[in-house]
């Protein structure tokens, strides 16, 4: 078995580092309303991603603008973006970046469970092992942090 890396791996690494920096800097946020901070964060993110959207639109295939697209973008904007970031920001405020950051590992747990519910994904042994390892790791880390 050989290990091969590609550009996607680099992009994921950059995203993880960016999220870690965001989480640490979140503890030093200015004394403004949480929704104002969230709005500024999203506006900055939109401005940073807009050139990539334009490049993809011109160089590849434009995103179809129809009702399904608008509902999909609206759903992603509200639930995994606005609500999730608001809750995470509040969690960092209450328990700190170290402990709040642990719960990012629940994303594959919920992703797997939601794929089973909505996409008909079959539950396999590796799902159970992965979920058990994630929950055990979070449990051990939070228990150690409380001591």
- For residue 73, which phi and psi values (nearest 5 degrees)? -65, -40
pTM above 0.75, yes or no: no
User: What would the pLDDT profile of 22-52 be if each residue is shown by its tens digit?
Assistant: 888 877 877 888 888 888 888 998 899 899 8
62 vs 134, higher pLDDT? 134
Q: How far is CA 96 from CA 9, 10, 102, in A?
A: 28, 28, 11
Q: How far apart are CA 23 and CA 39, in angstroms?
A: 16
Name the average pLDDT for the chain: 86
Q: How far apart are CA 117 and CA 95, in angstroms?
A: 31
pLDDT of residue 146 exceeding 70: no
Extents of the domains making up the chain: 24-95, 96-147
Q: Nearest-CA neighbor of 26 among 101, 92, 99?
A: 92
């Amino acid at each position: 078995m050989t290990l091969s890396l590609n550009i996607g791996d680099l992009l994921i690494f950059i995203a993880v580092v960016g999220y870690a920096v965001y989480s640490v800097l979140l503890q030093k946020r200015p004394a403004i309303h949480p929704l104002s901070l969230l709005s500024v964060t999203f506006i900055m993110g939109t401005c940073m991603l807009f050139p990539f959207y334009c490049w993809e639109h011109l160089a590849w295939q434009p995103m179809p603008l129809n009702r399904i697209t608008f509902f999909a973008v609206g759903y992603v904007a509200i639930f995994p973006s606005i609500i999730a970031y608001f809750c995470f920001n509040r969690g960092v405020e209450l328990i700190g970046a170290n402990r709040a950051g642990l719960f990012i590992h629940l994303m594959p747990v919920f992703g797997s469970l939601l794929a089973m519910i909505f996409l008909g994904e079959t539950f396999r042994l590796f799902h159970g092992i992965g979920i058990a390892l994630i929950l055990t790791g979070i449990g051990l880390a939070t228990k150690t942090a409380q001591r």
